[in-house]
Structure 1
C-alpha cells in the first residue's frame, strides 16, 4: 500500500474522477475541505497527454496533493508514454479507466468495454508499471452487458494484479453499453457491494476500494467495512461539505478548517490569483453550488452565484455577498 493510502480508522477516502467536474479548481477547493482525501483528475486520454496542451490538461496546484491522474486508452505503448509524462508532472498515482460507459469512450476502445479484454488491460498495466515508480491502479466495473460478474470481475482483477497493479477501485454495478446512457449507467444497474467484498476476500493482499451509490460517511463505514477504501462521486461534488468530516472521522485528524465559512475564506487567495490571471469567477464558483444545502439562505447563495457569478468581470464581492446571504439569513425557530 502506498504512502498516500495510509489511514488511521480503517478506510481511505477518495473523490472520483468526474468529467466536467473534477478539474483543477474543483480539486483545489476540495483540498480546503479535506487534507487527506485522494483527489482525482477528470479522465484524460493517453493521446491527449502525448499530443495536447499538457499544462492545460495536467496542470495542478501543489496544494492538491495527494492527487491522482486518470488515463483512458487501450494501447500499452501510448499509455506507458502518457504515464511517464504524468509521473514527471508529479502525480501521486496513475489510474487506468476501465469503467466509463460513454459512446465516445467505447468508440476509442477504452473504458468499460475493456472489461471484455482482461489480457489487454493487463498488458497496459504492465507497460505503465515499467515506466513509472508511482502506484498504477485500475478503476473498473463488476462487468458489462451480459457478462457474469462472478467471472468477469475475477478475470479482470486477476489479470491486472498479475501485471503489477497496485490497487483496484470497483464501481459495484454492471455497465450496460447498449441501451443505457452514461447517466443511466450510474443509476439503473443494481448495486452489488457483496460482489466487491467477495473479491477482497479472495485478493486480501491487494488494496480494494468501493465506488458507487455511496452518499454519506455512514454509508462508507457500513458498506466499506472490510475493504481498504471508499470512493465518492456525485455525493462529494453535490454536497462538498461532507468532506469536512472525512479527516476527523476516517483519519483521526482535524479538518483543515473549522467550518465552511473558514474554508472559503482560506480559499480566497487561490481565487484572487485566478481572477488576476484573467480567469472567470464562475470557473471556480460553479463547484460551490452544493454548499450550505438545506440551510437558511442557501437558495439565495446558489442563485447569486449562478446569476451574478457568471457575469463578465465578476469578482470576489459576488462570493462575499452570496456567503452573507447564508451567514445573515434568519434562523428558523426551534420547534
Structure 2
C-alpha cells in the first residue's frame, strides 16, 4: 500500500499545485496561490489542473481528476490498474484531440462546439502521467505480473512508455501524414500520389540523367553496405578465430563500441575527418595538393558510414558461424 500512496500523492500534487501546462519561468509557483490576481494569459498557462477546471472551465480535465480519485475510494489492485490505464488514456486523448487553436479535427466543432484550445503539457501533466504509470504498474504487480516485483514492472512500463512516446508516436504521426488529403482528392489518392512520385522511382540515371529516385538509391546503398560490412565482418572473424593474431581479445572488445555508440557519432566523426574542412582533407591538400571536395556527403560517404556502423554487427554474427564450422571441414576443402 505504501507505493500506491506515494503515486496517489504525486498525482494529486500534480493536479493541485503544479502548473498543468508548459508555463514560463516568470510565472513562478508563488503566483499559483493568487489565481484571481494573475493576468489572463499567465493564468491560462500557470494554473494547476484543478484551477483550470474550476476557474477556466476546461471540462476535458475532469476525467483525469476522477481517475485520480477512484483509487482513493477503492484501494484494490483492479482499481489501481484501471485508474492508471484510464488516466493515461484520457491524458493522451485530450492532448491529441485539443490543440492550441481548439479541436484538432474540425468535425468536433459541430458535435461539441468550439473550444479556446490548450497549451502543451508542463510539469503538472508530466508528473500526473508518471503517477498514473506508477498506479498502473502497481496494479499489475499486485495481480502477479513478473512475480509481483513492483520495481521490475514499473521499470518495464517506464521503458515501454518512452518507446511509445518518443519512437512509435512520431513514426505513426509521420506515416499517417502520408494519407492527408490535398485539395479535393481522397486520402488513398493523396497517398498514392505521394508514393508514386517521380523523385522516388525515377530511373533517369540509367538513361544519362542526373540521378535515380530515392528508392533505387536506398536499395543500392543497402546492397553495397550489406556486402562490404559482411565481407569485413567475415575477415575480422577469421582473424580472431582461425589465427593467432596478437590483440584478438582487444579486437573483440572494440567491436562492441560502435554498437553502443549513437549512430550520429560515426557520421560526425567522418565529417570532421573527411569533410571539406576536415583534418585529413586539409592534411592531404597541404601535402599532396589534393583539392577539398564534398564527396563525403554523397553515396561514397554514406556507404563508408554505413559500413563502419554495421561491420561490428556482421562480425559478431560471423564469429559464431566460423566457430561452428569444424576445422576438419576446412582442411578437407583445402585438399580438394
- TM bracket (short chain): under 0.3
Greater per-residue helix proportion: 2
TM norm structure 1: 0.23
Structure with higher Rg: it is 2
Greater per-residue strand proportion: 1
Q: Which has the higher contact order (CA 8 A, sep 6+)?
A: 1
